Amino acid sequence: MRSLTEEETKVVFEKLANYIGRNITFLIDNPESPYVFRLQKDRVYYVSEQIAKFATSVSRSNLMSLGTCFGKFTKTGKFKLHITSLNYLSQYAKFKIWIKTNGEMPFLYGNHVLKAHIGKMSDDIPEHAGVIIYSMNDVPLGFGVSAKSTQEARNLPPTGIVAFRQGDIGEYLREEDTLFT
C-alpha cells in the first residue's frame, strides 16, 4: 500500500469533484481524525491515517484491502468510482435526484433514471454533472451523471433519460464475484 502520486491524486480528485465539489476538503482535512488515500494494486482506499501507518508492517502481497475502497484505476489510467464510496459521496453531494418507489427497482437492476421515475431533484443541475440518486426516504441508492440539465429535464417526455447510471447498490449482488478482487 502506497501513497498516490501527484498525477493519480489529480485524477482521483477530479472525479470526486464532479460529485462533491469543494466538499473534498471535508474528506481530507479532519484535524481530530485525519484520513488519507492509499493505492493497493490498482484500487484506491480511503483509510484513517493511523490505520495506514499500522498497515505498513504488513507486506503488500499479504494485504488484501484496507479502509473503504473508493474506486480503481483502469489500464488506461482513468479512475472509476466503486459503489463502496457511496456513503461518503452521499454525505457531501452537490446535486441530488430522488426517485419514486416505482423507479427504485429498475434503477437497482442497472437501468438509467427516467423522467417518469423522478420524485424531485436539486435545482440548477448542469448537464453531465455527477448526481447522487436517493429513494424518497433519503436512502442513497447510487450515483450517476446527469443526461440533461434541470431545465431541460422538465420538458422531457416520461421515457426520457434524466441521469445515466454509473453505480448502484444492486452491484453488491450482481458483481459480488468481482467487486473486491
Domains contained in the chain, number: 2
In a domain? residue 179: no
In a domain? residue 162: yes
- Residue ending a domain, choose from 40, 61, 88: 88
Please give the grid coordinates belonging to residue 108: 437497482
Same domain for 103 and 79: no
Same domain for 78 and 136: no
The CA distance from 147 to 158, in Å, is 14
Same domain for 101 and 47: no
Same domain for 149 and 121: yes
Specify the CATH number for the domain of residue 7.
3.10.450.220
- CA atoms within 13 Å, Cβ hemisphere of 143: 27
Specify the CATH number for the domain of residue 161.
2.30.130.10
pLDDT tens digits, one per residue of 121-173: 999 999 999 999 999 999 999 999 999 999 999 999 999 999 999 999 988 88
Instruction: Provide the domain limits for residue 120.
Output: 95-174
Asked if 144 and 165 count as a contact pair (C-beta separation under 8 A), the reply is: yes
pLDDT tens digits, one per residue of 8-42: 999 999 999 999 999 898 888 877 889 999 998 88
Asked if 58 and 86 count as a contact pair (C-beta separation under 8 A), the reply is: no
- Residue ending a domain, choose from 28, 56, 88: 88
Asked if 35 and 47 count as a contact pair (C-beta separation under 8 A), the reply is: yes
Asked if 31 and 19 count as a contact pair (C-beta separation under 8 A), the reply is: no
In a domain? residue 180: no
Whole-number pLDDT of residue 181: 65
Same domain for 110 and 69: no
